[in-house]
A and B are shown apart, each in its own frame.
Chain A
């Protein structure tokens, strides 16, 4: 596969990467929609989000754009709105106002294109699944209802496990994994989903240095292939080397944005709302 070197070629790159059969009975009752040409990976305008049962907005007047092929860090203290923003983009929370477009389409128009990696505590690691079975769940969006995984899906899983260096753990129970191994398994699941947009919530918390390096390398690889990565993180140590841009959130609003050392052109401007 050719690497995408500028944002104009990203859309065509995504098209070729995701040229696979649609499920017969897709989840959500919708087929896979193609990205609209020339559109950003994420476009958010005037977003306001409240948690169910609350009238206090967790996000208020958030507007930003993230071009294809960028690695963006969401930075802020606990309660700043990082996880809420990722969950809203993933379609897990409903917005009360504003719009979100992913590759030009509304949220949920194309489920396989978005991979959300929750915080590790959000998963039930005691579930009687092997690592291979967990990673296979990344293929479910391509199978849809009533379809069982086939050889092609197993091959995807094997490749992802190899890439994440956990091939030897394939048959191990997920309850026996360390924090770093859990994170690798989750990233492997996102890889087999063949997503274009990766939303990672605190992936580097309490993981070993080797896993951090590997996560960095894999995400860099995905962005070189046209993928887009949004990471909620507290880890400011690697900000410049690991990300193109940083978005600082405070009390549910975008405080400021920075183009980092790894950032690309000034044309890829992240607009923020006037707070």
Chain B
């Protein structure tokens, strides 16, 4: 068993992939708590998809992919925030418009580049191909996002639970929302390397959603979300190595499997209580 665990780590690319997975898991799962509590899962998915044009432009010009994706995601996040400010346009409508437009732009660029294969890693992820510079980028994103979240956690919580009270005491709920959107963009960009544009939202939403089934404490949600995310990432990585399957798909399936187990577990736990109450 121990050999089974250690053997893949003898390869440099696996060690890098493992470290990247853990960092991405921690970053996405922490932000995912607020994504779930603020019901922003659709927004997270949209931002992930809209990084595609930025990635393509960066690739074609030999710029940093991380930089291209960050610029694209931040523009999207701020653009959605701007379009839906003051409720002139509902947020889900603004997301739908920007999301589909940006993703379509990315697809057109990919078709013009005539090299779909190069971009498949962007769409579906390949954590086994993480380079040293990618790892540095992911580490920076992780430190920035977790550090910021730690510093402004109480303000993020109060703007989520009661934006009116927050505003009355001088905390701008709108600015906190922008800050969350920018952090979301950064985390998604880190997640793309691991599971790709199409599935990054799963890293954000599924572990936090699973955590919400297991605890009713904010701190507990952060802890469970982080643990479950790391577990899914590592499991998916090993599955990818031994079964020669897509690393991104394996990681997301691990997240989903844990959610399924937790969901069924909570249903069973609830049943005896409801039966006792009915009696």
Q: Report the separation of the CA atoms of residues A267 and B94 in the bound assembly, to the nearest whole angstrom.
A: 53
Instruction: Judge whether A175 is part of the interface by a CB distance below 8 angstroms.
Output: yes
- B154: A residues at CB distance < 8 A: 137, 140, 143, 148
- A28: B residues at CB distance < 8 A: 170-171
In this complex, how many residues of chain B approach chain A with their Cβ under 8 Å: the count is 27
Contact with B along A105-118 (1 / 0, CB 8 A): 00010011011101
- A175: B residues at CB distance < 8 A: 216
Instruction: Judge whether B40 is part of the interface by a CB distance below 8 angstroms.
Output: no
Query: Given contacts A146-B151, A173-B216, are A90 and B164 in contact (CB under 8 A)?
Result: yes
The answer on a CB contact under 8 Å between A128 and B171 is no
The segment from A67-75, A119-127, A211-219, A243-251 that touches chain B is A119-127
- B88: A residues at CB distance < 8 A: 52-53
The answer on a CB contact under 8 Å between B164 and A124 is no
Q: Report the separation of the CA atoms of residues A108 and B169 in the bound assembly, to the nearest whole angstrom.
A: 8
The answer on a CB contact under 8 Å between B217 and A30 is no
The answer on a CB contact under 8 Å between B167 and A52 is no
The answer on a CB contact under 8 Å between A129 and B155 is no
Question: How distant is B89 from chain A, measured CB to nearest CB, in Å?
Answer: 10
The answer on a CB contact under 8 Å between A91 and B167 is yes
The answer on a CB contact under 8 Å between A27 and B171 is yes
CB within 8 Å of A: which of B199-236?
212, 215-218, 220-221
What is the predominant secondary structure among interface residues of chain A facing chain B?
mixed
- A122: B residues at CB distance < 8 A: 162, 164
Question: How distant is B167 from chain A, measured CB to nearest CB, in Å?
Answer: 5
Contact with A along B23-43 (1 / 0, CB 8 A): 000000000000001000000
Q: Which of B152, B168, B212 contacts A145 (CB 8 A)?
A: B152
Instruction: Judge whether B86 is part of the interface by a CB distance below 8 angstroms.
Output: yes
How many inter-chain contacts with C-beta < 8 Å in the A-B complex?
85
- B218: A residues at CB distance < 8 A: 127-129, 133
The answer on a CB contact under 8 Å between A123 and B169 is no
Instruction: Judge whether B165 is part of the interface by a CB distance below 8 angstroms.
Output: yes
With most chain A CB atoms within 10 A of its CB, the pick from B152, B160, B165, B167 is B165
Instruction: Judge whether A160 is part of the interface by a CB distance below 8 angstroms.
Output: no
The answer on a CB contact under 8 Å between B165 and A129 is no
| Nearest 4 CB-CB pairings of A with B | A28-B170, A27-B170, A52-B86, A141-B169
Cross-chain pairs A/B with CB under 8 angstroms, 24 sampled: A27-B169, A52-B86, A87-B164, A90-B167, A108-B170, A111-B169, A118-B162, A118-B164, A122-B164, A123-B162, A124-B37, A124-B160, A127-B157, A127-B218, A128-B212, A128-B216, A128-B217, A137-B162, A140-B154, A140-B169, A141-B169, A145-B155, A148-B154, A193-B169
Q: Which residues of B contact A (CB under 8 A)?
A: 37, 86-88, 151-152, 154-155, 157-158, 160-162, 164-165, 167-171, 212, 215-218, 220-221
